[in-house]
Homo-oligomer: A and B are copies of this chain.
Amino acid sequence: MKLGMVGLGKMGYNLVLNLMENGHEVVANDINEEAMQKIKAEGAEIAADYKAMVDMLPKPRVVWLMIPAGDLIDQVIEKFTPFLEEGDILIDGGNSNYKDTLRRAEKLSAAGIQFMDVGTSGGMEGARNGACTMIGGDAEVFAHVEQIFKDISIEKGYLYTGKVGSGHFLKMVHNGIEYGMMQAIAEGFEILEKSPFDYDYKEVSRVWNHGSVIRSWLMELMENAFSKEPKLESIKGVMHSSGEGKWTVETALDLQTAAPVIALSLMMRYRSLEDDTFTGKVVAALRNEFGGHAVERKED
């Protein structure tokens, strides 16, 4: 199949290579001219702008957006729409909030354009050699493009998840689970670190990956990490987050669902961003007020 790819960042670039290796033809576009020339050298066609891309693609056009989630998606869709025709297919492969996806799908639907949402897990390595993809959208449209997903995904690693929005929703929940699993693993190692025993964490990760109930890819990554630094000495425990954990908790609230583990995993990340907290000041002040407990003072 011949399709367009907008966005040649780490994920998009690797996806193009993956697609071409599987016999697909790709017309690529990126605001970065260097990335364009590089992918051209790999065998892709390049399009200077969206109109050019559309002209180079057979009907119905299939265009894959692999750009950062957020307003940029809206801007690109806005610019793209005038060149598309009824029946053309737009795929958002990024980590978009499913609510945005629903909104975009409705708008594009009015113009007769098919919108598909693809949640992708597995990182750059997956994008290049076989990702895990969760695909929402119209069932007939999916049938038309299924071969793409079959080819770029690891074996058994793609799933048509139902109507539009369901792919991004599923990827969001996947990440929420990921937050919880990571925090659980991390708490376990913190307990080990404070224990009266002296464990070799690389060895612990290794043994837990062989026959135990908690064997997992994350635990394999722990072994990698500890093999680089036995106690992660140089790393600061600052836990950033990129949105999907927050969306998962917000969605849980919208659905009146108790998801304490995912919520706390997120909140402990927020807590890690701070050296000191106002919460702590208030509690310390209260203890001082009612019990005369000494407060620690900041040094001048």
Contacts and interface: CB of A to CB of B under 8 A. Distances in A.
Given A163-B197, A194-B278, A260-B263, 13 more contacts: A122-B213, A126-B211, A174-B213, A177-B185, A180-B188, A184-B261, A187-B259, A187-B260, A190-B279, A215-B217, A216-B216, A225-B288, A239-B287
B286 A222 contact: yes
A267 B260 CA distance: 7
Interface residues of A, number: 132
B178 A181 contact: no
Interface string A162-190: 11011001100111111111111111111
A238 B298 CA distance: 10
Contact of A259 (B158, B159, B267, B282): B267
A155 B268 contact: no
Given A253-B266, A264-B261, A187 B176 contact: yes
A252 B186 CA distance: 13
In the A-B complex, the 8 residue pairs with the smallest Cβ-Cβ separation, listed nearest first, are A237-B280, A180-B184, A216-B216, A132-B211, A157-B210, A186-B282, A159-B207, A221-B289
B189 A278 contact: yes
Contacts of A238: 280, 284, 295-296
Given A132-B212, A240-B293, A255 B195 contact: yes
Contacts of A239: 280, 283-284, 287
Interface string A239-278: 1101000101111110111111111111111111101111
A72 interface: no
Interface centre among A157, A185, A217, A259 (most CB of B within 10 A): A259
Interface stretch (A25-33, A82-90, A228-236): A228-236
B261 A292 contact: no
Contacts of A182: 282-283, 286-287
